Amino acid sequence: QPLPVQRITGKARLAGVLGWPVGHSRSPLLHNYWLRRYGVDGAYVPLPARPEAFEVAVRGLQAAGFRGANVTVPHKEAAFRLADVLDESARATGSVNTLIFQDDGMIRGLSTDGDGFVASLRAAGVDLPAVSHASTGRRVLLLGAGGAARSVAVSLAAAGMEVCITNRTRARADELAASLPGLSVCPWEEWEDRLGDYALLVNTTSLGMEGGPEPGFCPALERASAGLVVADIVYVPRVTPLMAEAQRRGLRTVGGLGMLLHQARLGFHAWFGVEPQVDAQTEAYVLASF
């Protein structure tokens, strides 16, 4: 059915996304879709802010009555430093992607990427922490050691999973594993051979991304355990070569679009007071913009 026209009155609730550049962000499209769908009096706008102007921009938004903002590259660490109150997710990752301007004037910082990822797995029917009831149980192999890997690792560990990190640059994997309790490291050269030990494989690198460093990235999955679930946080293309290979082998896959939508859901609820649905309609609307 057609979406209602967006209602923006003098009392509209306001939020946006701070980034530099920010033109590629899907967040304005997604949040305004939900605002229209649920008839919320509000608006969500792109907020291009240069790194040196980040703090001024945040204070300005707060002074102008915004409810908060998403924060993307390159501001996530600056947002962490600026927030007055940090959620556990933010503390554990050292970064903030969601700011909430509280009524008492304090700025609350959250990192919703990892929890969005875990929510997207659960929404796809993956039963955490018991992905498989076989010996691979709750073991996860996580490809990558960047910011996305850290967020995903923190939330998977909180969901009761045993996380093993593997990364091209070993030192970054060691550093990430040492900074969080319970993580282990697997050599990058060996992970394909060791795949049988894991219930869940997660790609948090840009490998397989359209326009990325290696869009054709497709590792060997012949050692995969029978119940392996393969998740990719890359969402362009919707089915990455890694996911296609997993599907060819009859393995369950989860794409990255769900993570994008579920992390957005958490902010939307905080700013606009409505819990939006992440469903096929929402996915179709966002996908139509690609």
CB of 138 to ligand ATR, least distance (A): 23
Contact status: 149 vs ligand ATR (CB under 6 A): yes
Q: Which residue is nearest to ligand ATR (CB)?
A: 146
- By CB under 6 A, which span of 123-131, 141-149, 252-260, 279-287 interacts with ligand ATR? 141-149
Please name which of 172, 210, 161, 170 lies closest in space to residue 191, comparing C-alpha atoms: 170
Any binding-site annotation on 167?
A: yes
Please name which of 195, 201, 290 lies closest in space to residue 253, comparing C-alpha atoms: 201
- By CB under 6 A, which span of 46-54, 124-132, 143-151, 191-199 interacts with ligand ATR? 143-151
Contact status: 246 vs ligand ATR (CB under 6 A): no
76 is catalytic: yes
Annotated catalytic residue: which of 31, 75, 76, 138? Answer: 76
Is 88 within 8 Å of 157 (Cβ atoms)?
A: no
- 17 forms beta bridges with 46, 70
DSSP class of residue 18? E
Residues 4-63 that bind ligand ATR (CB under 6 A): none
Toward ligand ATR, which CB reaches closer, 39 or 216?
216
- By CB under 6 A, which span of 36-44, 114-122, 165-173, 261-269 interacts with ligand ATR? 165-173
> How many other CB atoms sit within 10 Å of the CB of residue 180?
15
Is 260 within 8 Å of 26 (Cβ atoms)?
A: yes
CB of 20 to ligand ATR, least distance (A): 15
Toward ligand ATR, which CB reaches closer, 12 or 185?
185
The one among 30, 148, 231, 266 contacting ligand ATR by CB under 6 A: 148
* Residues 6 or more apart whose Cβ sits within 8 Å of residue 91: none
Toward ligand ATR, which CB reaches closer, 21 or 39?
21
Please name which of 205, 153, 159 lies closest in space to residue 183, comparing C-alpha atoms: 153
Query: How large is the C-alpha radius of gyration of the chain?
Result: 19
DSSP class of residue 205? S
Q: What is the dihedral of CA 44, 50, 56, 62, to 10 degrees?
A: 10
Any binding-site annotation on 25?
A: yes
Residues 172-231 that bind ligand ATR (CB under 6 A): 172, 204-207, 213-214
The one among 7, 50, 81, 168 contacting ligand ATR by CB under 6 A: 168
Distance of CA 146 to the CA centre of its chain: 13
Any binding-site annotation on 27?
A: yes
Residue 114 identity (one-letter amino acid) = G
Contact status: 132 vs ligand ATR (CB under 6 A): no
- 48 forms beta bridges with 19
Is 61 within 8 Å of 9 (Cβ atoms)?
A: no
φ, ψ at 273 (rounded to 5°): 75, 15
Distance of CA 229 to the CA centre of its chain: 18
Binding-residue total with ligand ATR (CB under 6 A): 16
Q: How far apart are CA 48 and CA 209, in angstroms?
A: 24
The one among 35, 61, 71, 145 contacting ligand ATR by CB under 6 A: 145
Question: What does the binding site for ligand ATR look like in residue numbers (CB under 6 A)?
Answer: 144-149, 167-169, 172, 204-207, 213-214
Catalytic residues: 76
Binding site, annotated residues for shikimate: 25-27, 72, 97, 113, 235, 263
Binding site, annotated residues for NADP(+): 88, 144-148, 167-172, 233, 256
